Each structure stands twice: as structure tokens, then as C-alpha cells.
Amino acid sequence: MGYAFISYSTKNKDSADGIKSLFNKNGIETWMAPNDIPAGSKYAEVISKALKNCSCLVLLLTNNSQNSLWVAKKVERAINYKKVIRRCYLK
């Protein structure tokens, strides 16, 4: 099945961790920076590879993520790789 790539603003890390935990408890594998980036590796290369190999991108959509250049880059890359994108809204 692959894994879900979770994209979020670092300002919402606690909520992203909660989504990751919920997915994992329900048997859905996840990939989320920075924990899944090996020490000493090139951040952008690892993220690009993870996006290329994921089943879908789960976007934690918040005001913070909408204003994040890095989140926008990940979404753009996921679109280029023709990945399914699912949004989770934070109230």
C-alpha cells in the first residue's frame, strides 16, 4: 500500500504528530519530516524521494501551512508526481 506523506507547518507539529499517531494506530504507514530524514542526509533530496515514493500526501491545512513556502513546495512536488492529496483541517 505504501505510506502517507504528512505535510504541515512546524508551528502545527503537535497536531501533525497526532495525525501520524492516529494513522499508525490504524495500520497506515506514514512519512513525516524531520523524524524520517536520516542524520547527515540532504533534506531536499530525501523529501523529494519520499514524495516520489509515497501513496498520497496528507496536508494539514492551517493558516500557518498556507503561509509556508516549504509546504507549498511539497504540494507542488506532489502534484508533479501526480499524487493524491488529502486535506486535514485544523480548527
7-59 confidence digits (pLDDT tens):
999 999 999 999 999 999 999 999 999 999 999 999 999 999 999 999 999 99
Beta strands in 1-91 (DSSP E): 4-7, 30-31, 56-61, 84-89
pLDDT of residue 89: 81
Residue 21's identity, in one-letter code, is S
pLDDT of residue 1: 63
Structural domains present in the chain: 4-89 (3.40.50.10140)
Count Cβ atoms within 10 A of the Cβ of residue 73 and give its class: 0-12 exposed, 13-18 middle, 19 or more buried.
middle
pLDDT over 90 (residue 88)? no
